[in-house]
Amino acid sequence: MPDVLLASCAAATGKDEDEPLLLAALAAEGVSAAPADWADDGVDWGAASAVVVRSTWDYAPRREEFLAWARRVEAVTRLANPADVLTWNTDKRYLRELAAAGVPVVPTAWAEAPDDVATALERWPGDVVVKPVVSAGARDTARFSPAEREQARAAAEGILAGGRAVMVQPYLDRLDAEGETGLVYVDGAYSHAFGKGALLAGGPLGEGLYAEEEITSRTATPAQRAIGDRVLAWVAERTGRTPLYARVDLVPGDDGDPQVIEVELTEPSLFLTTDGGAADRLAAAIRRRIG
């Protein structure tokens, strides 16, 4: 049994570009590691010194099963990130807490019942984005123009019918030119940043395991770093844990100032390929955690 198991899923086999870099970096640290499907009942998770959640990208349709697995693993070995952090982070209503704490978050309306949908959709006159509060890889997410409010309503009601609450956000026009900026943190310390092209040129993103993205290396601005650092400090205080890994995704608001669109603590791609030292930093942090 390897020292560390990287929790993945069968559908992600060969698709996680972070995985080979992390395996090689762990080997250089003297730590043996291997991927394993979180849904495989034959895996002896407790035999590993630690389990690191990585490409469990199929968890969203069976979130409760995934969280139950995380609690079982945590009962027999170290789990990063911990089960209580995964529970909190896999429902995007955590953004309400961030906004209440004064962190600049993309304006969001929430629909938790069919009667909430019309009010949420009417909040902004322009294009809106409709997505579920439980989702991975931008699945079941779509952008709708003002002329497509009926389609937006149908999409929202379909998400609700499937047992998930809905979030509605204005589409931020600066995204088309500037895209998103992701800030990656390892063991609470800033590691690197990357750029992500705009996904929502039109149409839903719901058919594959994840949406294909245009990723580039990027240097975070001081304003972006300030928000990312603030979010990480808040997360540590809120959860009582310093996460092994975290990703803070930022988008430009109408005034160009960065806003948080997501805080990824569960199974984010960390885009280790965009920074030459990123895999080494993550591997060293894992080694430190297992002693």
Residues recognised as catalytic: 218, 247, 264
Q: How many residues does this entry show for the chain?
A: 291
Edge-to-edge strand list for the sheet holding 128-132: 109-111, 166-170, 128-132, 141-144, 203-205
Residue 232 has φ and ψ, to the nearest 5°, of -60, -40
Distance CA 43, CA 40 (A): 6
Distance CA 248, CA 227 (A): 9
Burial readout 238-257 (b: 16 or more C-beta within 10 A, e: otherwise)? ebebebbbbbbbbbbeeeee
Cis (ω within 30 of 0) for the bond into 81? yes
Q: Are 121 and 149 in contact, with CB atoms under 8 Å apart?
A: yes
Distance CA 288, CA 188 (A): 13
Q: Are 160 and 113 in contact, with CB atoms under 8 Å apart?
A: yes
